[in-house]
Amino acid sequence: MEDEKYSKELDVAVRVVHLACFLCQRVQEGLVSTNSDHVKSKDDDSPVTVADWSVQAMVSWMLSEYFGRQNVSIVAEEDVETLSKADSTDLLDAVVSTVNECLAEAPRFGLKRPDKTIGNSQVLEAISRCNSSGGPTGRHWALDPVDGTLGFVRGDQYAVALALIDNGRVVLGVLGCPNYPMRKEWLNIHHQHYRSMSKSLPSSHSWEEGCVMYASRGSDEAWMQPLIRGDEKFEWPNFAKLIRVSSIDDPALATFCEPVEKTNSNHSFTAGLAHSVGLRKQPLRVHSMVKYAAIARGDAEIYMKFARAGYKEKIWDHAAGVLIVQEAGGVVTDAGGRPLDFSKGVYLEGLDRGIIACSGDALHDKIIGAIFASWDSSNL
């Protein structure tokens, strides 16, 4: 079976994403509690943090160790331009320190650790190796080290996303969601409030933060594994459980997700679509690919994203989440009803207007129909 073909890759990927979540949790606690200045802005004004670079360096190092540097092609979001500047010495030191602290914990996750401390040049090299442009042939890992960095900086939702694309098809998807609460109604509440709320609740109602979801193409299964806590040792696949999309097909009962920020998403158009198909609930606005996680786990039924003109979707923002939703029983297409094409390189070239993810065909057909009926009258 196709899913068994990638068993080693899945094993390594799941462990690596768990380790990456462990790293991110440490960094996020520091950012939220100390207002650290280790947050920078990219050319497009989106934020990037110590965690983004540290996760990318760690994942690059791990994949190279397990599959051979010459055999690993990684398409990832970050580069070393900012870290290489003369005035970024402190920032680079923080990244190198974070990477080494993380790698020191690798044996807890059943992973190798380096024989000695990794230096500045090695960390920069590991980040720089993630410069593949992907394409229709060969194997390419797609990595978003911290998807939803704005949510991460705010102490809210974010994700670590790793997918394997083989000859243009996504064959593995692993999605780490360190702040994902087990009760979906808490997704609408800022993460920093979860802790104070959970302290006042009986232990049986604890929000049990953090999980990793994963799937292999052709398995018709998607799984969820809780993150380890404290000094626990990671055990996999122990404690993993199957997840499945919701069975709700009545629009009046369905919950739909959309991005928090309006910069690259048209909230007014999705609101119009929601009304036209009979969606009555308020949208669930969540940072990052946690929206795909919500669909896969049955916490929501619809995810719609329509980017502003000129914005191009990157493969690392969707690959892992799309496969997990599909293997959990859901449907993901562009707004024209066509499968997303991950074979064209860094971007989802040829994307028809937007992205639609649904728990089933009935809701998906209604959304697609509404798009065709209302698109010409929209202002996108």
In tens digits, what is the pLDDT along the chain, a chain of 380 residues? 566 899 999 999 999 999 999 999 999 887 655 545 566 665 555 678 899 999 999 999 999 999 999 999 999 989 999 899 988 899 999 999 999 999 999 999 999 999 999 999 999 999 999 999 999 999 999 999 999 988 898 888 999 999 999 999 999 999 999 999 766 666 666 544 544 544 454 443 444 579 999 999 999 999 999 999 888 899 888 889 999 999 999 999 999 988 877 666 777 888 888 889 999 888 888 889 999 999 999 999 999 998 887 889 999 999 999 999 999 999 999 999 999 999 999 999 999 989 999 999 999 999 999 998 877 655 44
Task: Give which of 263, 253, 248 is closest to 330, Cα–Cα.
Answer: 248
Fold exhibited by the domain 2-179+210-243: Fructose-1,6-Bisphosphatase; Chain A, domain 1 (3.30.540)
What H or E segment, with its residue span, contains residue 142? Answer: strand 139-147
pLDDT at 6: 96
With tokens 């946690």, the residue in question is 290
- Residue extent(s) of CATH 3.30.540.10 domains in the chain: 2-179+210-243
- Residue extent(s) of CATH 3.40.190.80 domains in the chain: 251-377
pTM equals: 0.92
156 is in an annotated binding site: no
Alpha-carbon distance of 332 to 323, in angstroms, equals 9
Task: Give which of 55, 187, 24 is closest to 126, Cα–Cα.
Answer: 55
Look at the chain and count its residues.
380
Alpha-carbon distance of 245 to 231, in angstroms, equals 32
DSSP state of 232: P
Nearest 10 degrees: Cα torsion 3, 9, 11, 12? -160
CB atoms within 10 A of CB 44: 8
Question: Catalytic residue positions?
Answer: 52, 149
Alpha-carbon distance of 122 to 111, in angstroms, equals 19
Alpha-carbon distance of 165 to 172, in angstroms, equals 7
CATH number of the domain located at residue range(s) 251-377 in this protein: 3.40.190.80
Question: Could you give the residue ranges of the DSSP H alpha helices within the chain?
Answer: 2-5, 7-34, 50-67, 89-104, 120-128, 149-153, 191-199, 267-277, 290-297, 319-327, 361-374
pLDDT at 165: 98
317 is in an annotated binding site: yes
144 is in an annotated binding site: yes
Radius of gyration of the chain (CA): 20
